[in-house]
Chain A
Amino acid sequence: MKKLLLSFLLCAAAPGFSQSYLDLVKADPNNWFSYSGSYGAQRHSALKQIHAGNVDSLTVKWIYHVPRAQELEGVPIVSNGVMYVTQPNEVEALDARSGRLIWRYQNATPGAGHNRGVAVYERKVYLGTTDAFLIALDARTGSVIWETKMAGASMRYLGGAPLVLNNKVIVGLYSSSGFVDAYDAETGKPLWRWSALPKPGEPGSETWAGGDAGKFGGGPTWLTGSYDPELNLIYWGTGQANPDFIGDKRLGDNLYTECVVALDADTGKLKWYFQFTPHDVHDWDAVEVPILVDAQFQGQPRKLMVQANRNGYYYVLDRTNGKFLYGTPFVKLLTWSSGLTAEGRPILVPGKEPTVQGNLVCPATAGATNWPSPAYNPDTHYFYAVVTEGCSINFRGSDNFQPTSVSSNGTGYVESPEEEKRWQNYVRALDVTTGKLMWEYKQIGSNHYGPGLLSTAGGLLFAGDNQGVLTALDARAGHPLWHFSSGEKITASPMAYSVLGNEYITLISGPNVITFGLPDRK
């Protein structure tokens, strides 16, 4: 039996492996195939070799320094023992067991900004470039198989990792409007495009004063969404309306900004939307990764979608139809709204809009949470997020703003000077269906974004912080069990995988890819 099992294991890791759509659906925990680890985006690894009882012996296995890089924000992808790490316009393939470089792809266009990772499918690795090309590389050598210019005047790719479905590559793009594009994974041929802004006369255009959303712009789609293979729906968040901090010319709800949208994966058609912050004037992008959870909700089994939004509310939606089920604040400092209606619409507190002189609002524009990934543990039923308590002074650029191509006309990134309203990060665990705070862990010295989280079946939650410390927290109780000072500011989310039966945790910290594991068995 043991021999049989061994040969099965060898087969599983045997050459010739190329991940199929079925592999992506199953999200085998030995691999980490996508930005959020699975289509449901739970960032939960089923691996449990490293657990609460032995995590204190976790040790560094290898470090790989990404040349010329700093403050990397990508999530490594692991497929069959090969790890793919990125910086803008570059991909490196590493031996996931030893950290040794296998190949490097450098695009001729120098990179800038951020890249949050690649996607893998069959034998290809998909990279978006800063000049809006989607490039398919051979996963074994880094050779370019095809490259497709993602069409559109001044089209920009903002670095969100592509998401691969059944022979489709999904990418978020921006060119005064946010877009979600689909390309044929085999050939690179464009399949469909969804625009976050309705054209004049289309449904939603009436939510913009004058009916022409394009005159203003907005709805950037800069982070990777999630996917339900059974419903065949893609869930993707959209960002702010332009101008960010001035709302009086664009009266109305400004659809489909600050939404999560459900798109038919075959056609790109909008199935439903839910708008978190109608007519947003605080730049609370709703791109935070939407997590898909199947759970009992008020006694009924439901297909849920949950999101801790930058605006300070935690939301529970029915992901089959977008119906709002429940919402509650997940930060104590929330002043702009006094609650949510039965439909989930925020009840506004008057006088909280940005002014030329500056106006205090909580949470800050940087958000009660932001792009760093949340996680969900199906064992504890807790939703985890890095949360910032704090307020900002929000300014509008002028009293008499005229729409132009300039997207931003003000700022909300000015920290409140009042001591109790200064920014402070916490890791918080919420009951996934009630949003009740189960525990919190204060990250001393961390006050801005904070990297994302990794949950594991070993009863652990891995959290990095601004001070460069990676901490393993007890998933149920929230107390630290192990920590490591990485020596660099951490701006990326950790992930987990295994090779030949050994579990590894990888953290990108600054320019370094650091992989941890248990001590070798002698």
Chain B
Amino acid sequence: MRNTTVVPFALLLASVAVQAQDRQARAASPNPNPFAGNPQAVTEGQELYNRTCTGCHGYDGTPGEQGPALGASGRRYLRISDQEIFDAIRKGIAGTMMPGTGLAETDAWKVATYIRSLRGTAIDAPAQGNVAHGEQIFWGKGACGDCHMIRGRGGLLGPDLTNLAGRRKLYSIRDALTKTEHRVATDGGRHELSLAPLNTYQAIRVVMRDGKTLSGVLMNEDSFSLQMLGSDNELHMFARDELRQVVYEPKSLMPTDYDKRLTPEEFQDLLAFLSRLGVSRSR
């Protein structure tokens, strides 16, 4: 037998990965935050933050005039526990422009909870709402399942959402449902021009040499070939010279008016459902 020696190493790798990615195991010592993971506190903390902290920091945790972003992708944070964030809010950070704030202890914990939620993904601080009803909206009135797949069920044209809340932040999910600028990378940043075509879900329409047209989403392309998933749910692969025209549609296939299509309650319940879509790494 040949592969014997590599297996212990494989198991080791797997266990390291499970440890590294197990968010539940992250808090080694008890968390003093009475609101840890509390979705209501996240909402209240967001309001408090936007009212209190945006003189220096940016709105919703983005970079501000004088203070850095508190929930941006790619940043490494010096204060990572709830306690450290709470201390910074209450006492300020010596040697910097960050002053101690006058926030009450309870409010400071809520802001800390909110800031932590910015750094995790949606599943760490899921939206409140009726999850079961949200699921009904997903497959029913919202028609999300026409294009998106969850655990093997649903359509193909949009991204698979099985692990949506494990990849994206809550605000980025909300943006995707309500804002036109939502073609985003996995961690919910702004539309990144450097995305590989297969991650952009760029809507395209091609006209073949015989005049037939085909709509769908772009999977990949270069100067000589183009690969797409058609609205017929089939892969189509072309050499460029087999195409008379390629039209890059200015708008995504994803509707962005769910806050209008759905009642506020339905929208909130859909968010509650979506923000819990995750795959356990430990299995």
Residues of A within 8 A of B (CB): 15-16, 81-82, 88, 95-98, 100-104, 108-114, 130-131, 133, 136, 138, 140-146, 149, 156, 158-159, 220, 222, 239-240, 244, 283, 285, 370-371, 407-408
Contacts and interface: CB of A to CB of B under 8 A. Distances in A.
B136 to A, nearest CB: 22
The listed residue with most A CB atoms (<10 A of its CB), out of B151, B219, B237, B239, is B237
Interface string B21-65: 100000000000000000000000000000000000000000000
A221 to B, nearest CB: 10
A112 B9 contact: yes
B227 A102 contact: yes
Nearest to A98: B225
Contact of B14 (A130, A244, A407): A130
Contact of A140 (B1, B7, B225, B233): B233
Given A98-B237, A102-B219, A110-B17, 4 more contacts: A98-B224, A112-B9, A140-B235, A141-B229
B229 A15 contact: no
Contacts of A239: 1
B194 interface: no
Nearest to B237: A95
A113 B10 contact: yes
22 contacts: A15-B230, A15-B234, A82-B235, A95-B225, A97-B237, A100-B220, A102-B227, A108-B279, A109-B281, A110-B13, A112-B7, A113-B3, A114-B6, A130-B14, A140-B234, A143-B149, A144-B160, A145-B152, A146-B152, A149-B283, A222-B2, A283-B1
Contacts of B7: 112-113, 156
B247 to A, nearest CB: 20
Given A15-B230, A222-B1, A103 B198 contact: yes
B227 A95 contact: yes
A97 B239 contact: yes
Interface string B137-179: 0000000000001011000100010100000000000000000
A98 B236 CA distance: 12
B4 interface: yes
Nearest to A137: B152
Interface string B205-241: 0000000000000011110110101101111110100
A81 B235 CA distance: 9
A423 to B, nearest CB: 16
- A-B pairs with lowest CB-CB distance, top 5: A112-B10, A15-B234, A98-B225, A145-B152, A143-B160
Nearest to A366: B2
A265 to B, nearest CB: 25
Given A15-B230, A103-B219, A141-B229, A110 B14 contact: yes
Contacts of B281: 108-109
B222 to A, nearest CB: 6
A144 B283 CA distance: 15
Main secondary structure of the interface of A (DSSP, over half): loop
B149 A138 contact: yes
Contacts of B224: 98
A407 B2 CA distance: 12
Contacts of A158: 3
Interface of B: 1-4, 6-7, 9-10, 13-14, 17, 21, 149, 151-152, 156, 160, 162, 196, 198, 219-222, 224-225, 227, 229-230, 232-237, 239, 279, 281, 283
A369 to B, nearest CB: 13
A140 B217 CA distance: 12
Contacts of B3: 113-114, 158-159, 222
Nearest to A139: B235
Contacts of A16: 232, 234
Contacts of A222: 1-3
A88 B219 CA distance: 23
A96 B198 CA distance: 16
B235 A102 contact: yes
Contacts of B152: 136, 138, 143-146
Nearest to B6: A113
Contacts of B14: 109-110, 130-131
The listed residue with most B CB atoms (<10 A of its CB), out of A16, A98, A283, is A98
Contacts of A113: 3, 6-7, 10
A130 B15 CA distance: 12
A141 B156 CA distance: 7
Contacts of A133: 283
A112 B13 contact: yes
Contacts of B222: 98, 100
B226 to A, nearest CB: 8
A220 B3 CA distance: 10
B220 A102 contact: yes
A453 to B, nearest CB: 19
Contacts of B21: 108
Nearest to A88: B10
A110 B224 CA distance: 34
A148 B198 CA distance: 27
A457 to B, nearest CB: 26
A97 B225 contact: yes
Nearest to A136: B152
Contacts of B279: 108
A7 to B, nearest CB: 12
A239 B3 CA distance: 12
Contacts of B160: 141-144
